[in-house]
Amino acid sequence: MSTQTENSEMNNAVNLCSLSELCIPNQIDIEFDRLLEFIKERDITQIIAAVKQNLRHFCATNNQLYNNSMNFINEHKLWGTYYPEKEDYELAENRAHALVEHLDDFEWFYKILKDSRSKRILVNILYYWLMSDPKKIEQIQDRTFNQYFDLDIIKCSESEVFVDIGGYIGDTLVNYAKTYGNSCYKRMYSYEIVPANIEYIKENIKLFHLDNVIIKEKGASNRNGTMYLSSNMVSSIIQLSENGTFAVPIVKIDDDIEEKVTFIKMDIEGGEEEALLGCLAKIKENHPKLALSVYHNHKDIWKLARIIYEADPSYHFYMRYYGSAVLPTEYIIYAV
């Protein structure tokens, strides 16, 4: 046998081996496939029943933790309420409908996630929606980096133009400076709608010596106009609505910022989809890094990723979890 033939056969063997290794599912893939199979074999009434049964099991096995979790969920009302004593099962129904009706969307998102850590986070959150098992959340809790600033994913430079949508009290601006340095940006914008919060932003800018910060007392949306607040007290969970006591201007980021944008962060209590639609020109033209909260409902995990992907399919997607070890909140997607 010639040396050339031997080398050719060896290369073929290596290629086949590599292909075989790529095709071998890992533990996360196996768990995800089991979840898909379980849901696909059942109709919506069966999945609702399964979610209810698992919530009852959660209550029976850890009553205090269950009560704390349900109190939090019922207080925020982002995912539906749950008062079984009143025959209010909205939370269970919302989780079940999300799993059944958007399983293909979750499968699509799982496949485009760029690392195993992201896949593990997604799988565990979906299992939690079905099983209400806090161990699924405990497994993905991480405190390695500040929220929105995973150093393995997000790199920043002195030319950075950072847009903080949902500025709250300026904590994200401060964490940016702590992570990358006070001089590692060209300019920062902070969009915040609550007057009391804005006063704290101003104080934190002074306290931490942040230069070139522009505060925008506006909400980010998919249109320019006016919406309303019901309260102007300090809060991280206030949402805009069509009616209320305090008028707030809303803008499209595409129209409100003239310069090139390199990094956008969003955490606006379920308003991320509308705000993202108002950034599409920036996304297509500037390709900014994106760090988006997707925990305020059951759709943003896949829907925000689809909006970005359809605008620019060159983006890579990651998930990270920054919430408690009890129930899933504070999980975000990075798109870079």
- Angstrom CA distances, 295 to 168, 325, 331, stand at 17, 15, 6
d(CA 124, CA 28): 9
Q: Are residues 122 and 172 in the same domain?
A: no
Say if 155 falls within a structural domain: no
pLDDT band at 73 (very low <50, low <70, confident <90, very high): very high
Q: Are residues 122 and 219 in the same domain?
A: no
Q: Which helix (H) or strand (E) holds 291?
A: strand 289-293
Look-up of token digits 């269950």: 66
- What pLDDT digit, counting tens, does each position of 285-309 carry? 999 999 999 999 999 999 999 999 9
pLDDT band at 41 (very low <50, low <70, confident <90, very high): very high
Q: What is the pLDDT of residue 120?
A: 98
Q: How many of the other CB atoms lie within 10 Å of CB of 184? A: 16
Q: What is the pLDDT of residue 245?
A: 74
Which of 20-24, 32-36, 116-120, 195-199 is predicted least confidently? 20-24
pTM higher than the cut 0.85: yes
Q: Are residues 230 and 112 in the same domain?
A: no
Q: Are residues 103 and 180 in the same domain?
A: no
Please provide the average confidence, as pLDDT, over all residues in the chain: 91
d(CA 242, CA 290): 27
Tokens read off for 12: 């073929």
Question: Pick from 106, 138, 170: which residue ends a domain?
Answer: 138
* CB-based contact 303:105 (threshold 8 Å): yes
Say if 210 falls within a structural domain: yes
HSE-CB at 87 with a 13 A cutoff on CA atoms is 0
Mean pLDDT for the stretch of residues 36-49: 98
pLDDT band at 247 (very low <50, low <70, confident <90, very high): confident
pLDDT band at 18 (very low <50, low <70, confident <90, very high): very low
pLDDT band at 238 (very low <50, low <70, confident <90, very high): low
pLDDT band at 228 (very low <50, low <70, confident <90, very high): confident
Tokens read off for 84: 């079984």
Q: How many of the other CB atoms lie within 10 Å of CB of 336? A: 18
